[in-house]
Amino acid sequence: MKDATCILIVDDDSNILEVLDARLSASGFNVFKAANAQTAMQILKKEPVDLLISDMKMPVTSGLDLFLEVQKTLPELPVIFLTAYGTIPDAVNAIKHGAVDYISKPFDGRELIKKIRQTLEIRQQSKQTNINIESNQLNETVLSKTASIKTDSAKPTTNSNSDKDNLSSNTSKGIEANHPIIFEDEFYWKKSPAMQELYSMIKRVAATNVNVMILGESGVGKEWIARSIYRNSSRKDQPYVVVDCGSTPDGILESELFGHLKGSFTSAVKDKKGLIETADKGTLFLDEIGNISHEMQCRLLRFLEDKTIRQVGSVHEKIVDCRIISATNADLTADIENGTFRQDLYYRLKVVTLNVPPLRDRKTEIADFAKFFVDRYTKEHNLPKVTFAKETIELMESHDWPGNIRELRNALEAGIVLCKNDIMQPWDLQLGNNQKLIKNSKPDIKPFDANSENRSFNDGDAGFSIEESEKQTIIRALKESKGVQKRAAELLDISRRAINYKIKKYDIQPKDYK
């Protein structure tokens, strides 16, 4: 990397140019300097540059405008921005358009060198990957043509359009290979435009070290998005630490995040490393960040600004380098207006924001999701393959899924347990707010004997619901088995899991029938 790597620095402040020049030269880089965007463009036309570092705010032509101009001629050139606090939104916008990263002023020289080396390493890996892909494609083409020649030599002369047809076929296969329809971390990326855009954003953001905030309703899969960013980042071989801010009390959360020393409070019987320190060099995922207290917001903000932590009971600070990914289903902008969430912390966390659309806005994907979850569940539990009735697909696509993917997955697992003949019917999903469609789909039930001594509801009732009939059937089985659920399940010819589910659903107490 030394002597061979050329870096162009652009800043209208001559002092910063000199400081950067000294720091980069001392680290073994060749440095070109420019005081404005126009000079920078002239250098880029004449000199081979491996990395561009630019100030965001400059007279005449801003750093963002320079970046957009560079993108036209050198789209692969990585760009890092130097930005003051007030221009962070501009830097974020640049990252969304393809910039690599940004560093806030005043910057730490060691952090800058670290980011530069990481960026160059990622670029080199990307180049090598492209070379390998091109090599593989060339090999495949050569092998394909060789096989074609061997085959053709053993056959009579064929139609002259065959080569054209083969080329068309190979091209089609190449397109399919480069743009597969895949599931990755339980997300079906390649159907709805919203998910394609999200997937593209994740790939761009993962290659940087910026903090990311993931927004979306409960159950949309924010944690899966966070894990996907981590797995595709340069920190993928370092720790990935998840903190559930929503379920951890404030007093415990401080100790969990920052750690404590023995004796710092009553129950501190030994030293404890905090989760932030545990995530050093890796990624820290703060789930439900909107639920933390004002005091914790202040401590977290200090860490984000200084990259240092102090354990509870300690007077010494430790430097920690970790990427922060946060997630929430709350409206933080409203919380800021109400004074319950700090605006400065909000901007530190949401360098890049990813919005995960709810499942009701992705109904074209529901059938594919359903097949994926059902196939995976049946394989994991060695169960027969389960298919869907047409009405079941219609029900799933008409349901609003307020619980999103989590609700869909849970409903499908219940459906697998309850379905008969390995065909999932609408009523197997147990979707209470779609009873009208379910009743219209479900076949007629054999009339219940009104004179039966087991009937527990009033004879004056003109009729009864499917659910009431099901509940009474389970109660009769429990009476017959004297409250033994295993025996009751055998009498009903259903699984123990199914009867447990029904007992909880109808709030039946088996002990009442012993």
Q: Is residue 506 part of a domain?
A: no
Is residue 161 classed as helix, strand or coil in its secondary structure?
Answer: coil
Same domain flag for 201 and 84: no
Residue 369: CATH number of its domain? 1.10.8.60
Same domain flag for 73 and 92: yes
Nearest-5° Cα angle at 29, 24 to 33 = 65
**Any idea which residue has 């932590």 for tokens?**
309
Q: Is residue 57 part of a domain?
A: yes
d(C-alpha 90, C-alpha 344), whole Å: 16
Same domain flag for 339 and 420: no
d(C-alpha 331, C-alpha 290), whole Å: 8
Q: Is residue 145 part of a domain?
A: no
Same domain flag for 193 and 341: yes
Q: Is residue 482 part of a domain?
A: no
- Is residue 214 a contact partner of residue 327, using CB atoms and an 8 Å limit? yes
Max Cα separation, the chain? Answer: 98
Q: Which element (helix H / strand E) includes 104?
A: strand 101-104
- Is residue 105 a contact partner of residue 79, using CB atoms and an 8 Å limit? no
Same domain flag for 273 and 351: yes
Q: Please report the DSSP string for 433-489 in residue order.
A: GGHHHHHHHSPPPPPP-TT-TT--S-TT-S---HHHHHHHHHHHHHHHTTT-HHHHH
d(C-alpha 218, C-alpha 390), whole Å: 28
* Last residue in a domain, options 401, 425, 441: 441
d(C-alpha 501, C-alpha 506), whole Å: 9
Q: Kindly state the tokens that stand for 32.
A: 């070109």
Q: Please report the DSSP string for 411-442 in residue order.
A: HHHHHHHH-BTTEE-GGGG--GGGHHHHHHHS
Residue 48: CATH number of its domain? 3.40.50.2300
- pLDDT above 50: residue 83: yes
* Last residue in a domain, options 419, 441, 463: 441
Same domain flag for 264 and 381: no
Compute the chain's Rg from CA coordinates. Answer: 31
**Closest to 360 measured CA to CA, from 309, 320, 411, 398:** 398
Model confidence at 128, pLDDT cuts 50, 70, 90, reads low
Same domain flag for 338 and 384: no
Same domain flag for 79 and 203: no
Q: Mean pLDDT score of the chain, rounded to an integer?
A: 78
**Any idea which residue has 């004002």 for tokens?**
294
**Number of domains making up the chain:** 3
Q: 103-132 as b/e, with b when 16 or more CB fall inside 10 Å?
A: bbeebeeeebbebbebbbebbeeeeeeeee
What's the pLDDT score for residue 31? Answer: 93
- Is residue 187 a contact partner of residue 229, using CB atoms and an 8 Å limit? no
Residue 221: CATH number of its domain? 3.40.50.300
Q: What is the pLDDT of residues 425-443, one digit of tens each?
A: 998 888 865 554 444 555 4
Mean pLDDT across 121-140: 54
Q: What is the pTM of this model?
A: 0.58
- Is residue 100 a contact partner of residue 209, using CB atoms and an 8 Å limit? no
Beta bridge partners of 362: none
Same domain flag for 241 and 334: yes
Q: Is residue 28 part of a domain?
A: yes
Q: What is the pLDDT of residues 157-190, one digit of tens each?
A: 444 444 333 333 333 333 233 333 456 656 666 6
**Closest to 229 measured CA to CA, from 130, 353, 333, 43:** 353
Q: What is the pLDDT of residues 441-468, one digit of tens each?
A: 554 434 334 344 444 444 444 344 567 7
**Any idea which residue has 């480069």 for tokens?**
178
Same domain flag for 345 and 408: no
Rounded to the nearest 10 degrees, the angle between the axes of helix 466-480 and helix 496-505 is 120
Q: Is residue 512 part of a domain?
A: no
Same domain flag for 239 and 341: yes
Same domain flag for 92 and 212: no
* Last residue in a domain, options 357, 384, 409: 357
Q: What is the pLDDT of residues 191-216, one digit of tens each?
A: 778 888 888 888 888 888 889 999 99
The residue range of the domain holding 430 is 361-441
